[in-house]
Structure 1
Amino acid sequence: MRSYLDFEKPVAELEAKLEELRTVAAQGGAVAIGDDIARLEGKAQDALVHLYANLTPWQKAQVARHPLRPHFSDYAGALFEEYEPLAGDRKFGDDNAILGGLARFRGRPVCLIGQEKGNTTETRIKHNFGMARPEGYRKAVRLMELADRFALPVISLVDTAGAFPGLDAEERGQAEAIARSTDACLSLSVPNVAVIIGEGGSGGAIAIATANRVLMLEHSIYSVISPEGAASILWRDTAKAQEAAMNMKITAQDLARFHVIDTIVPEPPGGAHRDPALAMTRAGDAIEAALLDLEGLDGPSLRKARREKFLAIGRTL
């Protein structure tokens, strides 16, 4: 059963009517309603396209968090072959919010890293809703060092509301772990490509997204803090999250204009959750194009380009 967001009510009503007509047609209870079905299908599709072409930043945040949006594990299964997950940071333990390992991407051996939110109550708890503890970022560092050693490009799939803010995470050095992971990204002598597939929240995202190429799905969000967090700080009222989102420049379109990201990956009409296979294929094509663009660059050139890319943010528009 399709799950609708609050602002999708007009589309939901049209698709409900469409489903009724299809049911009637399947039961043979009406004659010649094929034209009505086709007309309503076109109307529903047009409404969906128009709606998603004019989403507000807050609506995009809702789409980015849609429970049916494809997550890391979906991408790993759809775009990568021979994926061999690796666990543990070799210092404290394993963290299920950040997953990663070695794989093949369209015939090319790569290192894959990403946040996994989970898609059921059980898996969301297991993966801590994609919010990593220090051992998750230290695992990411271990994987990046492994990739560097064996000259494997690094692909990061970013989808987190932020690093886990719990007391245990702070006791184990959350800020230091995030900083070291960010530094590991910057120090790589191999190409790295990051894709914001849902939420890119704060340092929790930056820790694996400091890449030569940063791609972003059309209806994803990327920000230093969540709209709710910003509203809580500015107005001490999370109910003003919508107002915060409107002013934070969290959308792919804003961030491309500010050169924070490099490429916007178009999503199917209605968002990635409407057609996950198409959304993931488009993301795969964008990753492949980014890797091809970086081919032939040696380690010092990659590090220099990465450094200059991030130093230039905010200096030119």
Structure 2
Amino acid sequence: MVKTEKKRTFLLEFEKPLVELQARIDQIRELAEETNVDVSGQVSELESKAEQLRLEIFSSLTPSQKLQIARHPRRPSTLDYVQAMTDDWFELHGDRRGNDDPALIGGIARLDGRGVMIIGHQKGRDTKDNVARNFGMASPGGYRKAMRLMEHANRFSLPIITFIDTPGAYAGVDAEKLGQGEAIAYNLREMFSLDVPIITTVIGEGGSGGALGIGVAEKLMIFEHSVYTVASPEACAAILWKDAKKSEQAALALKITAKDLLHLGIVDQILPEPPNCAHSDPLGAADILKKAILDNLEYLSSLTPEQRKNLRYDKFRKIGVFLEG
């Protein structure tokens, strides 16, 4: 009972009908086991109904509903994917300037036997953990640490895998004093010059320059219910309409969903999520992500460093291009 209540605490409003139907199916199965009654026909009918309901719900989500999924507290984080996909993970710390930002982590690991450098934003699971991780909003020291690790990877020919999951870079006064804009701009410039393959995946929420600071890559992938945007819908609404409550309208206008981003040529590949989304099956999501990374890594490894850099350059030069009628 306690376990069920805890699970329900993290339910999104549009998920409730599906979860209630699944609970009913489980209840019928348990009762059938106790009474030794054949209910296979009834269960099969309800499972078909549940599958139809699942398709209806997740195929018609609004941008703001997808944002809720992207921010789900149980959505797999960078460390979750590292644990599920890799071997011999060894986290590296510090920007060599006296800072070690827990909101942006990185380290060396083996992915299917191959050495890689993994870097990603890290949110917390609960309020206390989120405060410690600053809700995944990295400071200048975090971006400098990320760049240090990328340069290390480049020196030792390790492919770079980055995971984006942040509402944006930390915008506090202290961050500005320490050069937040310069740190991100430096990363953008230097990532274009790295020789090794770079693959980036938006695993949750990708916001503003905070996402771009580790997001310059030949291949940019995104999970189907993740979002990627120039500013959070709340920030956009506050700026344009002086009313954060209009965030739903802003989310629609910003084109933050995976399908919109693929259509606009910003992302290269949409990764499907397990039924009921990644937060319901983290291991399933990790299997999908791992296969996609390995497939892209095989292709990028066959190119020369110059070809990879040209891919990066061409990709970002095309973003934002438009024609006036």
**TM-score of the aligned structures, taking structure 1 as reference length:** 0.95
* Contact in 2 for aligned 1:185/1:207 (Cα 8 Å): no
Deviations 1:127-168 (A, max 9, x none): 111110110000001001101111111000111111111111
* Contact in 2 for aligned 1:98/1:114 (Cα 8 Å): yes
* Residue 321 (structure 2) aligns with: 315
* Residue 297 (structure 1) aligns with: 303
Task: Count matched residues.
Answer: 316
* Contact in 2 for aligned 1:52/1:269 (Cα 8 Å): no
Structure 1 residue 8: deviation in Å?
A: 2.1
SS of equivalent residue, structure 2 residue 183: helix
In the superposition, relative to structure 1, how do residues 22 and 236 fare at CA in structure 2: closer, same or farther (>3 Å)? farther
Aligned-partner Cα distance in 1 for 2:22–2:184: 45
Aligned-partner Cα distance in 2 for 1:27–1:241: 49
Structure-to-structure mapping, 1:132-281, within 5 angstroms: 132-281=138-287
* Residue 10 (structure 1) aligns with: 17
SS of equivalent residue, structure 1 residue 104: strand
Structure 1 residue 53: deviation in Å?
A: 1.4
* Contact in 2 for aligned 1:49/1:269 (Cα 8 Å): no
Aligned-partner Cα distance in 2 for 1:22–1:246: 41
* Contact in 2 for aligned 1:94/1:139 (Cα 8 Å): yes
Aligned with residue 28 of structure 2, among 16, 21, 24: 21
Aligned-partner Cα distance in 1 for 2:240–2:98: 36
Structure 1 residue 35: deviation in Å?
A: 2.7
Code of the aligned partner of 2:11 = Y
Code of the aligned partner of 2:14 = F
Structure 1 residue 278: deviation in Å?
A: 1.1
* Contact in 2 for aligned 1:186/1:307 (Cα 8 Å): yes
Q: Percent identity?
A: 45
Code of the aligned partner of 1:196 = V
* Residue 120 (structure 1) aligns with: 126
Are 1:306 and 2:308 an aligned pair?
no
Structure 1 residue 120: deviation in Å?
A: 2.5
Structure-to-structure mapping, 1:19-168, within 5 angstroms: 19-28=26-35, 31-168=37-174
Aligned-partner Cα distance in 2 for 1:149–1:129: 31
RMSD: 1.6
Once the two structures are overlaid, the 10-residue window that deviates more, 6-15 or 19-28, is 19-28
* Contact in 2 for aligned 1:185/1:210 (Cα 8 Å): yes
SS of equivalent residue, structure 1 residue 273: helix
* Contact in 2 for aligned 1:202/1:223 (Cα 8 Å): yes
Deviations 1:261-281 (A, max 9, x none): 100001112211121111111
Code of the aligned partner of 1:231 = A
Aligned-partner Cα distance in 2 for 1:4–1:103: 33
**TM-score of the aligned structures, taking structure 2 as reference length:** 0.93
Structure 2 unmatched runs, 5+: none
* Contact in 2 for aligned 1:49/1:270 (Cα 8 Å): no
Code of the aligned partner of 1:39 = E
Aligned-partner Cα distance in 2 for 1:149–1:162: 29
Structure 1 residue 41: deviation in Å?
A: 2.2
